[in-house]
Amino acid sequence: MTTPASPDHAEPWYLLGAGNMGLLAAHYLQRAGFTVIALRRDDAPILERTLILPSGEAVLLHLDCQSIVRAGPAPTIRRLVVACKAPFSAAALGGLPLAADATVLRLQNGLGSLDGRLPAGARMIEVVSASAVKRDGDAHRVVAENDTWMGDGTPPAWFGTLAGHWPKLHWPPDFRHRQWRKLVGNAVINPLTGLHDVANGHIFEDPALAAEAEQLAREADRVLTTLDPTWPGDSLPGVRALAEATAGNTSSMRADMQAGAITEIDAINGWLLRQADVLGLDLPAHRRLVAAVKARHP
């Protein structure tokens, strides 16, 4: 059921990246009564996709579109959801008419993809989701509606409305630690499964891969503990639990490498390496992994 319009709903949300997670976010925003406009590089006026919810209900998602390459002035964007893959952020944001005080939700793997790419007065709100959506033929199947966290200071006025329609949406005081836990899980599981072309659960079934995972987690903890002394520094058990909980799954990086597509390694392991460089730390396992992934898929 759609929430009646209110003054806070007058400003539309623009969607950059109508993939699995972008479409799920658009569905929740629409359910909360917000207008969502998909940004496209073609002239299609309408985007229609079928979203299959965990209950089995099929929802037809109907989004008006706006071309981002058309000639002539475009409306100023004050609210934006960035859900494209991290390596495409620069190209996707280039030329967008973002307001100086725009609010941007970053729904991407890794960290740092929007650094220096937003107006100085813009507010970026990070989003970390444990939900899972997979392409299923012509539809997008929501495999699980798990916890989603947003964070950046005080929640905006619209957050309460959205939380009433986005299942398990939270604004926790320890958001950064939750974000880092997901980062470490991605930094260990994604490149190892991609390079060795195995499902997530295989990592801790193979002694050599398990040892490599332990070193990757330990190196990540060194960086994060140096950045924040309150970081627990105990990432390995959580990474193992995640790998076991998703044992049969194909990580996004493995899927990218199977398809010969560009990966998000720079926004995941690369972010840790950049932090380590500033801190004067060495992460040999992460360096090796990044080099190996890039050698396979520059």
Residues 193/239, Cβ–Cβ less than 8 Å: no
Residues of the chain short of pLDDT 70, as ranges, are: 1-8, 70-73, 298
Q: What is the dihedral angle through the alpha carbons of 184, 189, 195, 197, rounded to the nearest 10 degrees?
A: -170
Cα–Cα distance list, 130 to 113, 118, 140, 268 (Å): 19, 26, 16, 16
Q: How far apart are CA 162 and CA 150, in angstroms?
A: 11
Residue 43: the pLDDT is 82
Task: Using alpha carbons, select from 166, 134, 135 the residue that is nearest to residue 150.
Answer: 166
Give the pLDDT of residue 72.
56
Model pTM score? 0.92
The pLDDT of residue 2 is: 47
List helix spans (H) across 168-283: 175-196, 207-227, 235-245, 252-259, 269-279
Quote the pLDDT of residue 71.
54
Q: How do residues 35-70 score in pLDDT, each as one tens digit? A: 999 999 888 899 999 999 999 999 999 999 998 876
Torsion sign across C-alpha atoms 148, 221, 207, 259: positive
